[in-house]
Amino acid sequence: MYENLAIELNETNLQQTIEQSMQTPVVISFWAPSMPETAEVNRVLEQIASEYQGQLILATLDCEAQQMVAAQFGVRGLPTVALFKNGQPVDGAAGPQTEDSLRAMLSKHLPSQEELQLKAALALVDQQEYTQALPTLRELADKFEKNSVITLAIAECLVETSQYDDAEALLATVPMQDQDAKYKGLIAKLELHKQASDSPEIRQLEEKLAAEPGNVQIAYELAVQYSQVDRAQEALELLIAILRKDLNFADGNAKKTMMDILSALGQGNSMANQYRRQLYSLLY
């Protein structure tokens, strides 16, 4: 099975494979078909390499079929495993190996599973898959303390999914030395949102509601205005308060407006999930 996923080394591709270690670590397993224990090492290494999602290249050398190539490495016994980085051998193991011993040897030179998760999550952000990236980034934030790369990635996801208040609060925690171009770009987006979402109509309704805090009609009109300028959280807060007083307010329009906002935010949006639960508790 490993032959399909590993590079089979020979005189032709040996140098090219070693050169690949300049970018990505290469682990070479020296084995022989007549020794089943060496094939088992290959199987374990294949599993490990697959977990590293392209961050580790596996190559195998059949020492019976490629004796000249094996001689270049000075292999004296099988199984033997060697790890190459930057074109040079950096670690290895000879003799019988367990999965634990192989993992321990490789883990000293390879990114952790959390680092791999972070790379994958940041790639999702680059692909504008913000809703998909956000839960993983939040989970990793607890494991990588005070990591501004993660903080800014979470803030970007929040801005792009209209969770502006949460984004603003998070950006306020970024230390001065990490306030780079990305940080400034996100702050600029928040400022543009504030300018666009603070119309005279909205300010007038806010003043009316402040004067008549119990007027649900004004609250509903303001919620609609908020929803039209991406102020989803403020709109949802007003709507859930209205529905707690009258579930069928405005012939069900308040409920429909709230459900439309939740639908637009998507299933993976944590703010939407919070208000969705509140709505369902009223409905059922």
- Which of 44-48, 75-79, 112-116, 223-227 has the weakest average pLDDT? 112-116
Last-in-domain residue among 107, 125, 148: 107
Spatial CA neighbour of 182 closest among 143, 145, 137, 151: 151
Q: What is the pLDDT of residue 4?
A: 46
Q: What is the pLDDT of residue 223?
A: 95
* Mean of pLDDT values over 168-180: 95
Q: CB atoms < 10 A from the CB of 108, how many?
A: 9
d(CA 214, CA 208): 11
What percent of the chain stands above pLDDT 70? 99
CATH code (residue 222): 1.25.40.10
Do 51 and 77 lie in one domain? The reply is: yes
pLDDT band, residue 269 (cuts 50/70/90): confident
Q: What is the pLDDT of residue 99?
A: 95
pLDDT band, residue 161 (cuts 50/70/90): confident
Q: Domain containing 169: what range?
A: 113-196
Given a cut of 50, whether residue 1 has pLDDT beyond it is no
Given a cut of 90, whether residue 193 has pLDDT beyond it is no
- 101, 130, 171, 177, 262 from 162: Cα distances, Å: 47, 11, 15, 26, 12
Last-in-domain residue among 74, 107, 140: 107
- As for how many domains the chain has, the answer is 3
d(CA 14, CA 2): 18
Q: What is the pLDDT of residue 2?
A: 36
Do 140 and 210 lie in one domain? The reply is: no
What average pLDDT does the chain have?
Answer: 92
Q: What is the pLDDT of residue 53?
A: 81
Q: Which two tokens stand for residue 169?
A: 């609060």
* Mean of pLDDT values over 142-171: 92
Do 216 and 148 lie in one domain? The reply is: no
Q: Which residue has the higher pLDDT, 3 or 30?
A: 30
Q: What is the pLDDT of residues 23-56, one digit of tens each?
A: 999 999 999 999 999 999 999 999 999 988 888 9
Peptide bond into 36 cis (omega under 30): no
pLDDT band, residue 271 (cuts 50/70/90): confident
Q: Any idea what the Cα angle at residue 210 is, between residues 205 and 215, rounded to 5°? A: 75
Residues 177, 282 contacting (CB under 8 angstroms): no
Last-in-domain residue among 140, 174, 196: 196
